C-alpha cells in the first residue's frame, strides 16, 4: 500500500528514521518502517544512551560479553557497531534499489573529538573500515575543526553525514568542503560515484531559542506574536536555496557530476515539534523538496504517515521568510548569533549524552555481572 512516505519519495524527498535500537532490529519494527517507506536511519549519542541504558534489551548481549573483560568504551562500541551493522544489512536492499542514493545508517564519531581535526579523521576512518559496508555514514560535526576533516574523509572515499549545522555560514563551508573532497578524490583516481554525503541542518531548536528570545521581547511590550515559529523554517529554506545554487550543474559541481558525483543532500534534522502550539508535522510539511532528506523521530514519523503534507513546499514564501528574519534582526535577534549559540550547545549536549551513556553502561554492566 502506498503511504505518505512513498508519496514524498516520488517528490524527491527521502524519509529516514531518527532512531535505532536492538529491539527495533530484532522485533521487525525497522523492516516495518522500511515497508512503509523509510529509506534510512540516523543515530546520535542521545539515542544510543536511551536505547542501551533503559530497559533490558541489551542485557543478554552484555552477559555474553562478560568473559571478554572489555572496558566501558570498548563495550559501548561492540554494542553500537553490532546495531549499526545489522541495521545496514536490513537496509542494504534499499541501497541497492536506489543505486546508493538511500539505504544508509549513520554513526557519530565520539562527540568529545568535535574540536580535534586529526582525531576526528582517525576515528571516522576506523569506524568506517570496521563496519565495512557501503551504506554507512560517519557523522562529523560542522565545527571549525570538523570542516577540514570532512574534506579529507570525502577525499578518502568515506561517506560523511555532516551534523550539527544550524547556520548558513557553516553550511556554506560544509558544501565547499564536500566539493573540495570530491576534487581530491578525483585527482587521486577515486570513484566519485562510490562516495556520498548529506548535510544535517538542524531545524526545531532554532525556533525553540528564537521563541524564547521573542517571549522576552513580548514581556517588554513588543508586538511579536506573528514572529513565533517562523525562524527555523525560514533558515532551512534559505539553506535549500543556497544548496540549489551550489549544486547547479552549470557551476563547478557540473564537472564533478559528469564523473558520477552525487549532490550533498540537505538533511533536515531535529524535526520533532517542541512547542505544542505548533502542528506535530510543521517541520516536515514545510520542508518538502527535491534532493532532500528528512530524518524523523518515531512520533513525528507516525504523524507524517497519518496526516503529513505531500506536496513540494520548500521554495514557497521566501520573501515572507526574509522579511521575518529581517524583523527579528531589528529586534536584536540575529540568526548568526542564534545559530552559533546552538552549535556550541549542541556539541556540548552530545558530549554530555556520551558521558552519561558510558557511565550508565558501566553501571548496567556491573548489575548484569552480579546476576550471572
In the chain, the percentage of residues whose pLDDT exceeds 70 is: 100
Average pLDDT for 204-213: 98
In a domain, 214, yes or no: no
CATH number of the domain at 32, please. Answer: 3.20.20.70
For residue 55, pLDDT over 80 is answered with no
pTM higher than 0.85, yes or no? Answer: yes
Overall number of domains in the chain: 1
Expressed as residue numbers, the domain containing 77 is 4-205+234-315+346-371
**pLDDT score of 34:** 98
Q: DSSP states of 224-279 as a string?
A: -GGGTT-HHHHHHHHHHHHHHHHT-TTSTHHHHHTTTPPP-EEEEES-S--STTS-
Q: What is the CA radius of gyration of the chain?
A: 21
For residue 274, pLDDT over 90 is answered with yes
Residue 133 binned pLDDT confidence (cut-offs 50, 70, 90): very high
In a domain, 88, yes or no: yes
**pLDDT score of 10:** 98
In a domain, 44, yes or no: yes
Query: Residues 252, 167, 144, 50: what is their CA dihedral angle, to the nearest 10 degrees?
Result: -120
Residue 138 binned pLDDT confidence (cut-offs 50, 70, 90): very high
**pLDDT score of 70:** 87
Longest dimension (CA), the chain: 65
Residue 206 binned pLDDT confidence (cut-offs 50, 70, 90): very high
Convert the pLDDT of each residue in 284-334 to its tens digit: 999 999 999 999 999 999 999 999 999 999 999 999 999 999 999 999 999
- What is the distance in angstroms between the CA of the first residue and the CA of the last residue of the chain? 47
- Rounded Cα distance between 265 and 288, Å, is 13
For residue 213, pLDDT over 80 is answered with yes
Q: By mean pLDDT, which of 68-72, 150-154, 309-313 is the weakest?
A: 68-72
For residue 372, pLDDT over 80 is answered with no
In a domain, 210, yes or no: no
**pLDDT score of 244:** 98
**pLDDT score of 164:** 96
In a domain, 28, yes or no: yes
Please give the mean pLDDT across all residues of the chain: 95
Nearest residue to 235 (alpha-carbon basis) of 170, 152, 303: 170
Kindly list the catalytic residues.
139
Convert the pLDDT of each residue in 80-92 to its tens digit: 999 999 999 999 9
DSSP-derived letter for residue 56 is: S
For residue 7, pLDDT over 80 is answered with yes
**pLDDT score of 59:** 85
Residue 240 binned pLDDT confidence (cut-offs 50, 70, 90): very high
In a domain, 90, yes or no: yes
**pLDDT score of 157:** 98
In a domain, 121, yes or no: yes
Q: Which residues pair with 140 in a beta bridge?
A: 162
Amino acid at each position: 500500500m502506498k503511504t505518505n512516505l512513498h508519496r514524498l519519495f516520488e517528490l524527491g524527498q527521502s524519509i529516514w528514521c531518527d532512531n535505532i535500537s536492538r529491539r527495533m532490529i530484532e522485533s521487525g519494527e525497522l523492516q516495518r518502517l522500511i515497508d512503509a517507506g523509510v529509506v534510512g536511519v540516523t543515530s546520535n549519542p542521545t539515542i544510543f544512551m536511551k536505547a542501551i541504558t533503559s530497559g533490558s534489551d541489551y542485557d543478554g548481549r552484555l552477559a555474553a560479553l562478560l568473559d571478554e573483560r572489555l572496558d566501558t568504551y570498548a563495550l559501548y562500541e561492540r554494542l553500537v557497531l553490532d546495531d549499526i551493522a545489522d541495521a545496514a544489512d536490513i537496509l542494504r536492499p534499499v541501497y541497492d534499489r536506489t543505486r546508493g542514493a538511500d539505504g544508509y545508517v549513520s554513526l557519530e564519531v565520539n562527540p568529545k573529538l568535535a574540536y580535534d581535526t586529526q582525531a576526528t579523521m582517525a576515528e571516522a576512518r576506523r569506524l568506517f573500515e570496521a563496519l565495512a559496508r557501503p551504506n554507512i555514514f560517519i557523522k562529523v560535526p560542522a565545527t571549525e575543526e570538523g570542516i577540514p576533516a570532512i574534506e579529507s574523509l570525502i577525499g578518502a572515499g568515506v561517506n560523511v553525514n555532516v551534523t550539527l549545522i544550524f547556520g548558513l555560514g557553516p553550511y556554506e563551508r560544509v558544501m565547499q568542503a564536500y566539493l573540495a573532497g570530491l576534487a581530491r578524490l578525483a585527482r587521486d583516481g577515486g570513484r566519485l560515484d562510490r562516495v556520498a554525503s548529506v548535510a544535517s541542518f538542524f531545524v526545531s531548536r532554532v525556533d525553540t531559542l528564537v521563541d524564547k528570545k521573542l517571549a522576552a521581547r513580548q514581556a517588554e511590550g513588543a508586538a511579536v506574536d506573528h514572529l513565533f515559529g517562523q525562524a527555523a523554517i525560514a533558515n532551512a529554506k534559505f539553506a535549500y536555496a543556497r544548496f540549489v545554487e551550489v549544486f547547479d550543474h552549470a557551476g563547478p559541481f557540473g564537472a564533478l557530476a559528469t564523473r558520477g558525483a552525487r549532490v550533498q543532500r540537505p538533511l533536515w534534522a531535529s524535526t520533532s515539534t517542541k512547542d505544542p502550539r505548533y502542528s506535530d508535522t510543521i517541520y516536515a510539511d514545510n520542508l518538502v523538496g527535491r534532493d532532500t532528506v528528512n530524518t524523523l523521530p518515531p512520533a513525528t514519523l507516525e504523524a507524517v504517515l497519518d496526516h503529513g503534507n505531500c506536496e513540494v513546499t520548500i521554495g514557497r514564501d521566501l520573501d515572507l521568510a526574509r522579511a521575518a528574519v529581517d524583523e527579528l534582526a531589528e529586534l536584536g535577534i540575529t540568526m548568526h548569533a542564534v545559530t552559533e549559540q546552538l552549535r556550541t550547545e549542541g556539541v556540548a549536549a552530545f558530549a554530555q549524552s556520551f558521558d552519561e551513556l558510558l557511565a550508565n553502561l558501566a553501571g548496567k554492566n556491573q548489575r548484569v555481572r552480579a546476576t550471572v
